[in-house]
Amino acid sequence: MAELATNTPPSSPEVTPENEKVISPWKEAWKTFRKNKIALFGLGIVVFFILLAIFADSIAPYEMNGQKLADKHLAPSSEHWFGTDDFGRDILTRVIYGARISLWVGFVSVSGSIIIGSLLGIVAGYYGRWIDGIISRIFDILLAFPSILLAIAVVAILGPSLQNALIAIAIINVPTFGRLIRSRVLSVKEEEYITAARAIGMSDMRILFHHVLPNSMAPIIVQGSLAIATAIIEAAALGFLGLGAQAPTPEWGKMLADSKDFLTDAPWTLFFPGLAIMLTVLGFNLIGDGLRDALDPRMKN
Amino acid sequence: MRNPVLKVKDLRTSFLTDDGEIPAVNGISFEVNPGEVLGIVGESGCGKSVTSLSIMGLVPTPPGKIQGEILYNNENLIRASEKRMRQIRGNDIAMIFQEPMTSLNPVFTIGNQLIEAIRIHKKWPKNKAKMRAIEILKQVGLPRAEELMNEYPHQLSGGMRQRVMIAMAMVCEPKLLIADEPTTALDVTIQAQILDLMKRLNKETDTAIMMITHDLGVVAQMCERIVVMYAGEVVEEADVKTIFKHPKHPYTVGLIQSVPDMRLKKDRLYSIPGNVPKPGSTKTGCQFAPRCPHRNERCLAETPPLDTLETGQKVRCWLYQEGKGVEAIGRAVGKG
């Protein structure tokens, strides 16, 4: 009997026929993503805005807060592509700098919500029982508020500033991620490889962070890219309401609020920041949809 | 004879449900000797898997509740701390599972997972662990071991994955390997290869194997001694030849009869009538009585003890207590 096993030849039928290079699941997702033209377009938009934000200092034609009252409300021209606002500041310059703020708020607040939400979600899902009860109820309470109202309430407590708006946005997104991770953990922890991992003597912490979390990454990434879009809108909304960035910070929402009084005289003051918000949000949403198709083909319509 | 690696004494694993405490394993005792292959046989739902999970300390408590003694090197595993259990799992007692397709983490490479399994128990540098991982992959008969280290589970066939699982279980050279239906999910040709592999590793490394299966073919090929379980109890225990030649308990007789025999042309295959009782539903009497062709009033009223016969065979049945009925069963086997 033993002969059979020892003599298993290298060319046994179990060998996979492919001899190509090993493809990791992430590379495979990227391959699918690359084929999605619309998602690539979204990625293009986002990369464009990221480059604007990084190189704002060298790209921007004027100074960020350079006022020139004589040049106020100039229509778009070859000198001021996007025109000027009521203080004679170049709108193109301010939109470029605004990319920095919006993207910063988007990435940082969503990273914050992912980290806090994941921790809470993992703990709730893995340990269950009363811990799960408490954490889930907190999520329920947070989700019971309309998100923008909750953000306004948080900012009202902390005081209006860009940083506090960022914190508020992070807080309102925590339950979304927390619930997402919790449900993933609940299904992943029943998988046999988790039992197998315990059977070779792995500790709970190691299982959570080495086996459960990586297997929950795909939905987090998808939800994350969509959440950045929402976060940017929310930051703009708070800015518009005067609860986010304060003057003279060139925040897109704030720029919209400042220009609403001149809507008929100088519509470009409103148009370009609005367009910038729309494009960034569109970009992130397209990426999010593309990632969902690439990472979880079952959810595709 | 050397001391047994594992001694299970009166193990009782029950689960707390809405209907009260339901025993899945009801007072079983057996021993696993060093280097031996022990088979645990029974229908689905008779408590085989719960037994193995209890030994590994992987039954969630609560709702589970484990009583009795599980002695490994005279250490009672039921009382051991979670930390101590983690040291034992993988290093002293390892386990392989039924479903090789889902027992490997899909997001990591084979090498990654093997090296991790080694480094949990041994403080080896990465390089040494990698060498050992490649060595064990070769030992379980996997070709292209070096390349496999960088491959993901989804690139492997079921048979290869089960080999990887065995490699992972054997990598720290445990004293005891618990195999919970290791071949059920594989097709027949691969089944034979995996069984041969386990048999070979058993001989080479002197690791005792506790083989949990419902497949009597597997048992005949692999095991030296067999424990037959029914409804959470041991109903018969003997060495493999005795079980197949002179089965005593009506349940064992039924199991053996229900193995299809290629030499005989039969229109109908034999099956034991009825089902395994729902755990907790039968309270008094012999658990098998409702399905037993030889039952009498005593079987329904009193629970028979597990008795050792003169031959060393252990059986839990009233028929052998009274010294009669042996012939009756003998005839039943003959007819089959």
Q: Which CATH topology does A35-299 take? A: MetI-like fold (1.10.3720)
Residue in chain B nearest A203 by alpha carbon: B86
Q: Are residues B33 and B167 in the same domain?
A: yes
Q: Are residues B240 and B307 in the same domain?
A: yes
Percent of chain B residues past pLDDT 70, beyond the cut: 91
Q: Are residues B207 and B78 in the same domain?
A: yes
Among B191, B223, B255, identify where a domain stops.
B223
- Cβ(B97)–Cβ(A195) under 8 Å? yes
Among B202, B223, B244, identify where a domain stops.
B223
Residue B1 lies in a domain: no
The phi, psi pair for A263, rounded to 5°, reads -50, -45
Rounded-to-integer distance, Cα A41 and Cα A36, Å: 9
Q: Are residues B151 and B214 in the same domain?
A: yes
Q: Are residues B12 and B92 in the same domain?
A: yes
The pLDDT value given to residue B151: 86
Determine how many CB atoms are found less than 10 A away from the CB of residue B256: 18
Domain regions of chain A by residue span: 35-299
The pLDDT value given to residue A137: 94
Which one has a higher pLDDT value, A139 or A208? A139
Domain total for chain B? 2
Rounded-to-integer distance, Cα A274 and Cα A102, Å: 12
A22–B109: do the CB atoms touch at under 8 Å? yes
> Quick one: tokens of A18?
């492919």
Rounded alpha-carbon distances, angstroms, from residue A214 to A185, B108, B295:
10, 9, 56
- Taking residues B137-146, what's their average pLDDT? 83
CATH number at residue B157: 3.40.50.300
The pLDDT value given to residue B2: 67
Residue B151 lies in a domain: yes
Determine how many CB atoms are found less than 10 A away from the CB of residue A10: 9
The pLDDT value given to residue A279: 94
The pLDDT value given to residue A15: 43
Please compute Rg for chain A using Cα positions. 25
Residue in chain B nearest A214 by alpha carbon: B107
- Taking residues A23-44, what's their average pLDDT? 83
A15–B120: do the CB atoms touch at under 8 Å? no
For the cut 80, the answer to whether the pLDDT of residue B61 exceeds it is no
Among B223, B251, B266, identify where a domain stops.
B223
A25–B107: do the CB atoms touch at under 8 Å? yes
The alpha carbon of residue B123 is apart from the nearest alpha carbon of chain A, in Å, by 14
Which residues in chain B have Cβ-Cβ distances shorter than 8 Å to A196? 95, 97, 103-104, 165, 168
Residues of A with CB under 8 A from a CB of B: 1-2, 4-6, 8-12, 14-16, 18, 22-25, 191-193, 195-203, 206, 210-211, 214-215, 217
The pLDDT value given to residue A50: 93
Average pLDDT value over all residues in chain A: 84
Q: Are residues B238 and B110 in the same domain?
A: no
Rounded alpha-carbon distances, angstroms, from residue B290 to A159, A225, B276:
76, 61, 10
Q: If pLDDT is split at 50, 70 and 90, which confidence band does A300 have?
A: very low
Q: If pLDDT is split at 50, 70 and 90, which confidence band does A299 have?
A: low
Q: If pLDDT is split at 50, 70 and 90, which confidence band does A4 have?
A: very low
The pLDDT value given to residue A90: 86
Range of the domain at B150: 6-223
Q: Are residues B211 and B249 in the same domain?
A: no
Average pLDDT value over all residues in chain B: 81
Rounded-to-integer distance, Cα B198 and Cα B89, Å: 19
Instruction: For residue B96, give the H/E element and its range.
Output: strand B93-96
Which residues in chain A have Cβ-Cβ distances shorter than 8 Å to B99? 192
The phi, psi pair for A22, rounded to 5°, reads -70, 130
Beta bridge partners of B23: B14
Q: Which of A53-67, A130-144, A259-273 has the highest mean pLDDT?
A: A130-144
> Quick one: tokens of B267?
């229109």
Q: Are residues B117 and B238 in the same domain?
A: no
Q: Are residues B143 and B181 in the same domain?
A: yes
Q: If pLDDT is split at 50, 70 and 90, which confidence band does A136 have?
A: very high
Q: If pLDDT is split at 50, 70 and 90, which confidence band does A16 have?
A: very low
C-alpha neighbours within 13 Å on the C-beta side of residue B215: 18
Least confident of A64-73, A261-270, B81-90: A64-73
The pLDDT value given to residue B335: 43
- Cβ(B72)–Cβ(B155) under 8 Å? no
Q: Are residues B310 and B201 in the same domain?
A: no
Q: If pLDDT is split at 50, 70 and 90, which confidence band does A17 have?
A: very low
The pLDDT value given to residue B275: 76
Determine how many CB atoms are found less than 10 A away from the CB of residue A229: 23
Rounded-to-integer distance, Cα A265 and Cα A83, Å: 12
| pLDDT tens, position by position, A35-85 | 888 989 999 999 999 998 899 888 888 887 777 878 787 888 888 888 888
Residue in chain B nearest A188 by alpha carbon: B105
Query: pTM of the prediction?
Result: 0.73
Rounded alpha-carbon distances, angstroms, from residue B55 to A39, B92, B262:
51, 12, 37
| pLDDT tens, position by position, A73-124 | 788 888 888 888 888 888 888 899 989 988 999 999 999 999 999 999 988 9
Closest-CA residue to A144 (of A165, A179, A172):
A172
Is the omega angle on the peptide bond into residue A248 within 30 degrees of 0, that is, cis?
A: yes
Q: If pLDDT is split at 50, 70 and 90, which confidence band does B281 have?
A: low
For the cut 80, the answer to whether the pLDDT of residue A24 exceeds it is no
**Residue corresponding to tokens 């090197």:** B73
Which one has a higher pLDDT value, B282 or A46? A46
The pLDDT value given to residue B334: 45
